[in-house]
């Protein structure tokens, strides 16, 4: 499922994942790793990675990527040149469909001309072997295709509803589910 989105079901009550959209960066038989795309923090990228601030897509803040490893940062970027793994610039590792991991220890100017969008994440979401599959089977997550603009959404807080609204009719209705059903 690498490159696909996990969209939290409205009744997923884990505070780390309530109404989140997670981009799966890696998924295989040993587990899965992803980043939450719709949780911007108030920390400006320039505060922790001054060389990368100018290349971060607005809002130029660090996103809360997940509850694991919050003391480390990772960056995902969309390449301007397309989807291929061939000819990758130094400091960029292809993940899926033109999206890749950026080596934040590399000089920013090595890949700056090669990327069209970039977000920095503190932490990530991780699942052990078969754990994510069990959560999907229990109805905690909807698995949907990612759109090229999801990584760089101008409205990250609205991404949960936006992703759901572009799905087939039945799933699109979930976007209207109130945050607190008791107020409905």
* pLDDT at residue 88 in the model: 76
- Confidence (pLDDT) at 80: 83
163, containing H or E segment = helix 159-165
Predicted confidence band of residue 181 (pLDDT cuts 50, 70, 90): low
- pLDDT, tens digit, 9 for 90 and up, residues 59-117: 999 999 999 999 999 999 999 865 554 577 788 999 998 899 999 999 998 888 889 99
Q: Among 107, 106, 115, 82, which Cα is nearest to 96's?
A: 82
Using the predicted structure, report yes or no on whether residue 10 has a pLDDT greater than 80. yes
CATH class of 5-183: alpha beta
pLDDT 10s digits, 25-59:
999 999 999 999 999 999 999 999 999 999 999 99
């Amino acid at each position: 499922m690498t490159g696909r989105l996990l969209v939290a079901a409205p009744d997923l009550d884990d505070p780390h994942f309530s109404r989140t959209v997670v981009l799966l960066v890696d998924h295989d038989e040993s587990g899965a790793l992803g980043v939450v795309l719709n949780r911007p923090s108030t920390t400006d990228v320039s505060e922790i990675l001054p060389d990368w601030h100018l290349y971060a897509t607005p809002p130029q803040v660090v996103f809360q990527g997940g509850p694991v490893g919050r003391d480390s940062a990772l960056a995902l970027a969309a390449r301007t040149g397309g989807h291929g793994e061939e000819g990758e610039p130094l400091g960029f590792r292809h993940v899926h469909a033109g999206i890749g991991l950026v080596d934040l220890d590399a000089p920013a100017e090595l890949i700056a001309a090669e990327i069209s969008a970039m977000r920095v994440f503190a932490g990530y979401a991780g699942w052990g072997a078969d754990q994510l599959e069990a959560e999907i089977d229990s109805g905690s997550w909807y698995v949907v295709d990612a759109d090229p603009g999801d990584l760089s959404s101008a409205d990250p807080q609205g991404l949960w509803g936006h992703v759901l609204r572009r799905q087939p009719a039945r799933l699109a209705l979930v976007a209207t589910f109130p945050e607190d059903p008791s107020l409905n």
